[in-house]
């Protein structure tokens, strides 16, 4: 685990990594509703739906948690204490990392809330 965290610390957070958690949530959201629509229309019931949906949800949560861990490691980069009056590279990196970490938390909760109706409802009515 420590080796993986050290590897995560070597990665750099950019604007591209900032959009990974919300994009993962959006793909999970689209997957969820399309899978229910197709499953209910073609089969008329949720044949293997909970299994496929659970796998998709776990994959989305793993991607979001990995993104959050990488951002958490990057936000712990040593630098000047607050206030950050100067726009140094370290300050920008920590800002992007902190933003990515917050978006990862929000996206994690969003994936859970997207998955809740599937777990609560039992049929296609």
Cα-Cα end-to-end distance for the chain: 45
pLDDT mean for each 10 residues of the chain (125 residues): 62 81 95 80 62 88 93 79 70 85 96 84 67
4 within some domain: no
106 within some domain: yes
46 within some domain: yes
94 within some domain: yes
Q: How far apart are CA 53 and CA 115, in angstroms?
A: 8
Q: What confidence score (pLDDT) does residue 41 get?
A: 75
Looking at the 3D structure of the chain, how many domains does it have?
1
Q: What confidence score (pLDDT) does residue 43 get?
A: 67
Asked if 53 and 37 count as a contact pair (C-beta separation under 8 A), the reply is no
Q: What confidence score (pLDDT) does residue 85 get?
A: 66
Dihedrals phi, psi of 123, to nearest 5 degrees: -145, -175
Residue ranges making up the domain that contains 115: 17-77+86-120
38 within some domain: yes
72 within some domain: yes
36 within some domain: yes
Q: What confidence score (pLDDT) does residue 94 get?
A: 82
């Amino acid at each position: 685990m420590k080796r993986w965290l050290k590897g995560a610390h070597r990665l750099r957070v950019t604007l591209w990594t900032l959009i990974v958690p919300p994009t993962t949530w959006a793909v999970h959201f689209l997957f969820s509703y399309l899978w229910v629509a197709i499953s209910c229309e073609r089969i008329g019931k949720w044949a293997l739906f909970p299994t496929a949906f659970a796998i998709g949800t776990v994959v989305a949560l793993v991607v979001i948690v990995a993104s959050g861990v990488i951002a958490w490691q990057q936000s712990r980069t040593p630098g000047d204490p607050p206030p950050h009056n100067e726009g140094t590279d370290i300050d920008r990196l920590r800002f992007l990392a902190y933003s990515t970490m917050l978006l990862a938390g929000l996206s994690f909760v969003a994936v859970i809330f997207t998955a809740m109706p599937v777990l609560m409802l039992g049929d296609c009515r």
